[in-house]
Amino acid sequence: MNIAIVTACPNGQVSSVLSARLLEAAAQRLGWSTSVEVHDPRQPQGQLSAAVIAAADWVLVVSSGPLDLQRFAGKRLFQSTPAQALSDTQHFLCQAAEQAEVYQPVAETPSTPVERSARIVAITACPTGVAHTFMAAEALQQAAQQLGHQLTVETQGSVGARNPLTPAAIAEADVVLLAADIEVPTERFAGKRIYRCGTGVALKQAQATLNKALAEGREESTAQSANTSTTRSEKTGVYKHLLTGVSFMLPMVVAGGLLIALSFVFGIEAFKEPGTLPAALMQIGGEAAFKLMVPLLAGYIAYSIADRPGLAPGMIGGLLASTLGAGFIGGIVAGFLAGYSAKAISRWVRLPSSLEALKPILIIPLLASLFTGLVMIYVVGKPVAGMLEGLTHFLDSMGTTNAILLGVLLGGMMCVDLGGPINKAAYAFSVGLLASQSYAPMAATMAAGMVPPIGLGIASFIARRKFAQSEREAGKAAFVLGLCFISEGAIPFAAKDPLRVIPASIAGGALTGALSMYFGCKLMAPHGGLFVMLIPNAINHALLYLLAILAGSLLTALVYAVLKRSEVVELAVQPVKA
């Protein structure tokens, strides 16, 4: 049998490639010949030719978004989504071959699609913009296709906006869905109905989220948008405001940390020589980037709470926290002080209509900055600075037992929810300590964060018979993501088998964190995974650090390989259908 396979996932090129590889391998095991197209409108030369389509017995289209099927007119065709296709690839192919029907394009009347389908625009955003952002977008695209809605998704994160929403798309939308763990500006959605939720909710309950957005979306004014986050049940309050600050701070920390690490390429003490390149790198990374870290954190915490009027007092409070030696803890306090004071002034200070325009540019920044500054100088600054100094001294001088216990705690936290709130809390704590020259927690945190995807990738290799083919392919992808310090690579396994994956991951992460602290490993850069080790002196005790990661990954792999149940369903189906 000769089939043509087309995969198209607009918000996840990785999903397209993975679907194509798994389906092609399954078809070849059935003895079929295949022609594969990973659909990419930007590179039309990669599409299947008319001759290849004509020679195919039938066409399989796996997509999570709208796709033009006109070129397949007259061919037997079967269309599905990646989630359905990858659950059991060979069984799926056999069913698709039986159910494929001749495709006849239907002439669309102008009124029918407009009346029967809703138009939705969405934004997905998480603090790093690495995994949850794109996974939520992919899930929403699939759900919209199943429900018959037209959905356009813009993804945001520390990398900025991708596939930005056009004014025309916003104007035509029935509702705006903000699936975000950080605060998203809403000025461009003035006059539109808005529904808010977290990326986790959108990822796990995509169809329900779209239905709720259409049913419960409410119009927000610009003034209300900053306050709306406190009225929603998902990802609200202190946690969301903190994550917004961390999201804007992360690029500064990563850039500064890597620049400091690059200065160590020339020697640990080379930056002390004035006028040299190492000194310049240290000046850019340590004296500029790291000094801006705390003001950015505080400023965008306040921005999340009070919108633009909170930004100036937040940054002023953050700079005072840095100057007073209160560090990132003081910056967090300053951000919340500035944000809630600006919000209170905006709500309770009443002015004549002729003077109302002065509030956001004069009254709120002045009064909120004055209040935040005075509280930081006379009340908060010194006690928090003393607490941070004590914490730093404890971390630098703690004994072996305390170091191991801290490593166990941070390592376990990094593996509990794989990119969720607990994971982010451990990571934010370790990143904040970099400004205080405490590098050991960062090493333990990043090492432990790599363990779940690496360990599960190894498990899918050493216990191959217990894993379905689709899981073995997902294990390869998870292994690579783990090397890059992307813990979310383990989410597909955790979503399918949480009661076994999570304990196995926590065991490996806790071991790695404990060993990293025991070996005294210190990491200068806050991200990059094993590739940071290519920078000389970025990590001390490099071999011991690798040993810690390897030990935890193997523990996770062995525990899960023992606990996992065999995929007997796939093995039972294959002989019957083949």
Tell me if 315 sits within 8 A of 249, measured CB to CB: no
Give the CA diameter of the chain: 80
Within 5-162, residue ranges assigned H as helices are 13-29, 50-55, 82-85, 89-99, 111-116, 132-147
Q: Are 289 and 311 in contact (CB under 8 A)?
A: no
Sheet-wide strand order for 58-63? 33-38, 2-8, 58-63, 76-80, 101-102
- The two structure tokens encoding residue 153: 């998704």
Compute, in degrees rounded to 10, the torsion defined by CA atoms 551, 519, 418, 439: -160
Q: Name the active-site residue from 9, 94, 197, 521.
A: 9
Q: Which residue has the tokens 């193997």?
A: 554
- Judged by DSSP in three states, 467 sits in coil
In degrees, rounded to 5, the angle at the alpha carbon of residue 248 between the alpha carbons of residues 244 and 252 is 150
First to last CA, the chain: 12
Instruction: Let me know if 521 is a catalytic residue.
Output: no
User: What gap in Å lies between CA 557 and CA 461, rounded to an integer?
Assistant: 9
Angle at 214 between CA 213 and CA 217, to 5 degrees: 60
Contact 316, 369 (CB under 8 A): yes
Distance, in Å, from the CA atom of 554 to the CA atom of 480, rounded to the nearest integer, reads: 15
Rounded to an integer, what distance in angstroms lies between the CA atom of residue 531 and that of residue 543? 14
Q: Which of 126, 197, 415, 521 is catalytic?
A: 126
- CA of 409: how far to CAs of 500, 510, 513, 542, in Å? 20, 7, 8, 22
| Structure tokens that stand for 297 in this block | 């954190």
Q: What is the rounded CA–CA span in Å between residue 227 and residue 246?
A: 20
Q: Is 9 a catalytic residue?
A: yes
Number of helices (H) and strands (E) in the chain: give both, helices first: 25, 10
Asked if residues 289 and 252 have their Cβ atoms less than 8 Å apart, the reply is yes
Task: Sort residue 7 into left (φ over 0), alpha (ψ -120 to 50) or beta.
Answer: beta
CB neighbours (10 Å) of residue 366?
A: 14
Tell me the backbone φ, ψ of residue 313, rounded to 5 degrees. -65, -30
Distances (CA, A) of 239 to 62, 199, 227: 38, 14, 15
148 neighbors 117 (Cβ within 8 angstroms):
yes
- For residues 247 and 140, what is the distance between their CA atoms, to the nearest angstrom? 23
Which residues does the annotation mark as catalytic?
9, 126
